[in-house]
């Protein structure tokens, strides 16, 4: 019985340790899964979709009749056949018979606008993922730099402690102590700068998380990832499935339909109209045509230029996506190689530090040699961290260029069908 009780206690301790370890890490994917579904910016994007759908209904109503209740009181009139037929209440109705395709073009424009806002939703989601990912990676970069500068600080503190003992017996070496203290302060200053950067990024990141993140929560989101495998897995060679490009394409189509609509509105509009009062009933066809309306001419020209601007932007997006993807691929491959080389160099430089410290103790190396060895080790460690974090930044940029941030985080892939 006593043995079973001891085992239960050990299992409970082990479970608590494992649970605490699991709770100490908050992966980037976990943050994205929540934020890319619930962030207020996405609610705004959804509202824009509904607003666009309502605008389409407004345009479709152009084919529906308009019925009005009118009450007229004539104050004065002078014409051949005077009467009071225009006085009193009446019902008036109007329906468009022919508008040279203006209403149809407006409906087409608004349907494209619906699609534009629908794909804009996906674009905003990808951009939000990039923003969150950038903050997370910035905090992680600072955290890793903090670790190496803390190591450097410990090395300097150890040397300063030894020098203080030496100076007690040999005051002529006070200059060496001052040099070591100066180098220590430089390291401490850099350390504080990275701490400020890290906590600033964590503070901004807390907007997207249910709790305030701590440095221990940060983990490498691309740990043990091969650049070649990652690129092959998330490559999206079809620009037509990139929401930024497709949204701009819909914007171009909407601008083209709007230009057709404005052009048609300059032509005669033919309506069937009628009215009914207590004394009169009449139905008639009404044609209206602005013989002189300079505003409509400039409006047509404005629509044409909007169409051209949308087309140019679409081409720009296509080139930008290709450039981002190509740059990210190059950065991923080269930074991964650089990190491996720097990692090997760290082991070699640590040996140099140890050797230099031993030679300093037997007066074969100066203090400056030791401090320079410390600095070189920190520089090599910083090079490895920079390469590793540049790889992560490039991986995130690649996901953004391929519109795969949501897919990578575990959210359902982009559907080209209407939701």
Closest CA to 100 of 294, 253, 274, 288: 288
CB 256 within 8 A of CB 308: no
**Is residue 418 scored above 80 in pLDDT?**
no
Calculate the dihedral angle through the C-alpha atoms of 217, 38, 128, 34, rounding to the nearest 10 degrees. 30
Q: Give the mean model confidence (pLDDT) for residues 276-289.
A: 86
Q: What is the pLDDT of residues 314-361, one digit of tens each?
A: 999 999 999 999 999 999 999 999 999 999 999 999 999 989 889 988
CA distances from 275 to 94, 289, 326 (A): 9, 22, 67
pLDDT value, residue 153:
93
Q: Is residue 78 a part of any domain in this protein? A: no
Please tell me the distance from the alpha carbon of residue 248 to that of residue 405, in angstroms, as a whole number: 20
CA distance 255 to 250: 9
In a domain, 18, yes or no: no
Strand partners, 288: 269
pLDDT over threshold 70, residue 13: no
- The three-state DSSP-derived secondary structure of the chain is CHHHHHHHHHHHHHHHHHHHHHHCCCCHHHHHHHHHHHCHHHHHHHHHHHHHHHHHHHHHHHHCCEEEEEEECCCCCCCCCCCCCCCEEEEEEEEEEECCCHHHHHHHHHHHHHHHHHHHHHHHHHHHHHHHHHHHHHHHHHHHHHHHHHHHHHHHHHHHHHHHHHHHHCHHHHHHHHHHHHHHHHHHHHHHHHHHHHHHHHHHHHHHCCCCCCHHHCCCCCCCCCHHHHHHHHCCCCHHHCHHHHHHHHHHHHHHHHHHHHHHHCCCEEEEEEEEECCCEEEEEEEECCCCCHHHHHHHHHHHHHHHHHHHHHHHHHHHHHHHHHHHHHHHHHHHHHHHHHHHHHHHHHHHHHHHHHHHHCCCCCHHHHHHHHHHHHHHHHHHHHHHHHHHHHHHHHHHHCCCHHHHHCCCCCCCCCC
pLDDT of residue 239: 83
Per-residue confidence band for 15, with pLDDT thresholds at 50, 70 and 90: very low
Rounded distance, CA 251 to CA 115, Å?
9
Asked if residue 56 lies in contact with residue 107, where contact means CB atoms within 8 angstroms, the answer is yes
Q: Is position 415 within any domain?
A: no
Distance CA 404, CA 413 (A): 8
What is the radius of gyration, based on Cα positions, of the chain? 36
Residues making up the chain, counted from first to last: 419
Residue 359 inside a domain? The answer is yes
Report the alpha-carbon distance of residue 243 to residue 124 in Å, rounded. Answer: 9
Confidence check: pLDDT of 132 > 60 = yes
CATH code (residue 182): 1.20.1600.10
Evaluate whether residue 15 is within a structural domain. Answer: no
Q: Is residue 20 part of a domain?
A: no
CA 400 to chain centroid, in Å, comes to 8
Rounded to 5 degrees, φ, ψ at 96 are -75, 130
Look at residue 76 and tell me if it is in a domain. Answer: no
152 is in which domain, residue-wise? 28-66+88-408
Under 8 Å CB-to-CB from 275, ≥6 apart: which residues? 70, 90, 91, 92, 93, 281, 282
Give me the mean pLDDT over the 299-307 stretch. 87
pTM of the model: 0.83
At 21, is the pLDDT very low, low, confident or very high (cuts 50, 70, 90)? very low
How many folded domains does the chain comprise?
Answer: 1
pLDDT given at position 237 = 84
* In-domain check, residue 6: no
**Alpha-carbon dihedral 303, 308, 314, 318, rounded to 10 degrees:** 180
Q: Two tokens at 290?
A: 């602005």
Residue 361: the pLDDT is 83
User: Residue 416 pLDDT more than 70?
Assistant: no
**Alpha-carbon dihedral 397, 399, 403, 407, rounded to 10 degrees:** -150
Using CA atoms, how far residue 376 sits from 157, 159, 338, 401, in Å, is 17, 16, 17, 37
Average pLDDT estimate for 112-127: 94
In the block, tokens 């949308």 appear at 310
Q: Which of 175-189, 376-390, 404-418 has the lowest mean pLDDT?
A: 404-418
Q: What is the pLDDT of residue 231?
A: 94
Residue 411 near residue 36 (C-beta atoms within 8 A): yes
Instruction: Please compute the mean of the pLDDT values over residues 147-170 and round it to a whole number.
Output: 89
């Amino acid at each position: 019985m006593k043995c079973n009780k001891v085992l239960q206690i050990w299992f409970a301790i082990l479970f608590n340790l494992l649970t605490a370890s699991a709770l100490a890490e908050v992966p980037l994917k976990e943050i994205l899964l929540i934020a890319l579904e619930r962030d207020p910016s996405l609610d705004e994007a959804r509202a824009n979709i509904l607003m666009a759908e309502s605008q389409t209904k407004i345009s479709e109503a152009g084919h529906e009749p308009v019925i009005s209740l009118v009450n007229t009181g004539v104050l004065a009139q002078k014409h051949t056949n005077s009467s009071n037929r225009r006085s009193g209440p009446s019902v008036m109705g109007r329906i468009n018979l022919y508008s040279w395709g203006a209403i149809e073009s407006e409906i087409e424009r608004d349907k494209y606008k619906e699609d534009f806002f629908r794909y804009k939703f996906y674009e905003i989601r990808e951009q939000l993922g990039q923003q969150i990912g950038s903050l997370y990676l910035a905090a992680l970069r600072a955290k890793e730099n903090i670790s190496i500068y803390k190591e450097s600080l410990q090395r300097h503190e150890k040397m300063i402690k030894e020098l203080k003992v030496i100076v007690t017996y040999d005051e002529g070496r006070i200059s060496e102590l001052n040099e070591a203290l100066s180098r220590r302060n430089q390291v401490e200053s850099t350390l504080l700068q990275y701490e400020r950067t890290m906590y600033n990024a964590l503070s901004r990141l807390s907007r997207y998380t249910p709790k305030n993140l701590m440095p221990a929560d940060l983990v490498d989101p691309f740990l043990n990832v091969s650049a070649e495998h990652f690129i092959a897995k998330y490559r999206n060679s079809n620009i037509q499935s990139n929401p930024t490009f497709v949204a701009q394409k819909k914007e171009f189509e909407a601008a083209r339909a709007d230009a057709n609509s404005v052009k048609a509105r300059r032509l005669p509009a033919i309506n069937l109209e009628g009215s009914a009062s207590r004394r009169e009933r009449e139905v008639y066809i009404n044609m209206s045509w602005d013989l002189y309306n300079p505003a409509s001419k400039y409006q047509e020209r404005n629509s044409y230029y909007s169409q051209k601007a949308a087309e140019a932007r679409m081409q720009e997006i296509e080139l930008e996506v290709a450039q981002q993807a190509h740059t990210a691929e190059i950065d991923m491959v080269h930074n991964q190689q650089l990190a491996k080389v720097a990692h090997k160099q760290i082991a070699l430089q640590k040996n140099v530090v140890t050797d230099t410290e031993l030679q300093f103790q037997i007066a074969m190396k100066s203090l400056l040699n030791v401090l320079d060895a410390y600095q070189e080790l920190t520089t090599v460690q910083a090079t490895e961290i920079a390469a590793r974090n540049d790889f992560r930044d490039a991986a995130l940029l690649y996901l953004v260029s391929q519109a795969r941030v949501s897919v990578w985080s575990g959210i359902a892939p982009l559907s080209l069908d209407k939701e």
